[in-house]
């Protein structure tokens, strides 16, 4: 099970949705590896800021293997491990293939937070092609326009529903041609993030709204 969550615009909530999905999967009895390509997961999960090497360093090394990648993982909670890192700059095609192969063959559920600032379009595209690609978007015309023009194919989208917006899930689904799961904007999520409790005590509404994503991933071969 490989999920890649991404957005076309920063501030869409991709990292929060990624952390919420990873947490939900652990609650459903899965062991989960959360891969952080954007660099925001330690702060979201309430763990100390990491100063050691991460996935970006592994990608920049010409000879890093699966074992070396595994040694970079950090335990967050029972059943949940984090592969930290903030990927910046272009990544060689061979290293892209190697990372995708390692993650695709992992026996755990793998959730990739590709963020809204794509570290490398080829890397994100390759990850999306090999698993379940999930676009995270807000009901914003500019973000929706960028999503329509994106070259990355998504299997579904998570729409963060905010009060006062004119666009709804039906509009987004029609524009993108994919199923849309609505995630209600909820202040308890922000409070959980601020308190560092997102992985240990996720808000019930977040788990409820993300449940269909977990089921989609489980149904894919």
Q: What is the pLDDT of residues 25-37, one digit of tens each?
A: 998 889 999 999 8
| Position 64 confidence tier, pLDDT thresholds 50, 70, 90 | confident
**For residues 139 and 163, what is the distance between their CA atoms, to the nearest angstrom?**
10
Q: 87 vs 54, 56, 64, 107, 138, CA distance in Å?
A: 9, 5, 15, 24, 24
On whether the CB atoms of residues 155 and 124 are closer than 8 A, the answer is no
Q: 14 vs 58, 66, 107, 134, 188, CA distance in Å?
A: 23, 26, 24, 9, 17
Q: Which two tokens stand for residue 85?
A: 């890192």
| Mean pLDDT across the chain | 83
Number of alpha helices (DSSP H) and beta strands (DSSP E) in the chain: 10, 8
The CATH code of domain 2-219 reads: 3.40.50.300
Determine if residue 195 is left, alpha or beta; phi over 0 gives left, psi from -120 to 50 gives alpha, anything else beta.
alpha
For the chain, the structural domain boundaries read 2-219
| Position with higher pLDDT, 202 vs 13 | 13
Q: What are phi and psi of 142, to 5 degrees?
A: -65, -40
Among residues 200, 158, 184, which one has the least CA distance to residue 45? 200
Q: What is the pLDDT of residue 198?
A: 76
Q: What is the pLDDT of residue 11?
A: 76
Q: What is the pLDDT of residue 217?
A: 57
On whether the CB atoms of residues 143 and 9 are closer than 8 A, the answer is yes
* pTM of the full structure: 0.88
State the average pLDDT over residues 160-186: 83
**For residues 24 and 207, what is the distance between their CA atoms, to the nearest angstrom?**
6
Q: What is the pLDDT of residue 183?
A: 84
| Position 139 confidence tier, pLDDT thresholds 50, 70, 90 | confident
Helix 93-104 and helix 121-130, axial crossing angle in degrees, nearest 10: 30
On whether the CB atoms of residues 214 and 24 are closer than 8 A, the answer is yes
Q: Which residues pair with 36 in a beta bridge?
A: 113
Q: What is the pLDDT of residue 107?
A: 93
Q: What are phi and psi of 9, to 5 degrees?
A: -150, 130
Q: Does residue 149 sit in helix, strand or coil?
A: helix
Question: What percent of the chain shows pLDDT beyond 90?
Answer: 22
Most confident of 4-8, 32-36, 74-78, 171-175: 32-36
């Amino acid at each position: 099970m490989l999920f890649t969550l991404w957005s076309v615009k920063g501030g869409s909530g991709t990292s929060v949705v990624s952390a919420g999905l990873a947490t939900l999967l652990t609650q459903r009895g899965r062991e989960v590896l959360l891969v952080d390509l954007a660099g925001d997961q330690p702060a979201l999960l309430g763990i100390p800021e990491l100063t050691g090497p991460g996935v970006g360093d592994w990608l920049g090394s010409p000879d890093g293997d699966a074992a070396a990648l595994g040694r970079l993982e950090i335990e967050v909670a029972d059943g949940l491990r984090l592969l930290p890192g903030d990927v910046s700059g272009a990544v060689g095609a061979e290293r892209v293939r190697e990372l995708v192969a390692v993650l695709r063959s992992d026996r755990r559920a793998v959730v990739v937070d590709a963020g809204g600032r794509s570290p490398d379009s080829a890397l994100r595209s390759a990850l999306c092609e090999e698993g379940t690609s999930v676009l995270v978007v807000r009901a914003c015309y500019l973000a929706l326009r960028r999503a329509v023009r994106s070259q990355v194919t998504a299997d579904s989208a998570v729409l963060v529903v905010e009060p006062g917006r004119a666009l709804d899930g039906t509009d987004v689904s029609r524009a993108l041609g994919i199923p849309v799961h609505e995630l209600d904007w909820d202040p308890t999520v922000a409070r959980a993030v601020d308190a560092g409790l997102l992985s240990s005590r996720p808000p019930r509404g977040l788990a409820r709204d993300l449940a269909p994503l977990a089921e989609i991933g489980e149904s894919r071969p």
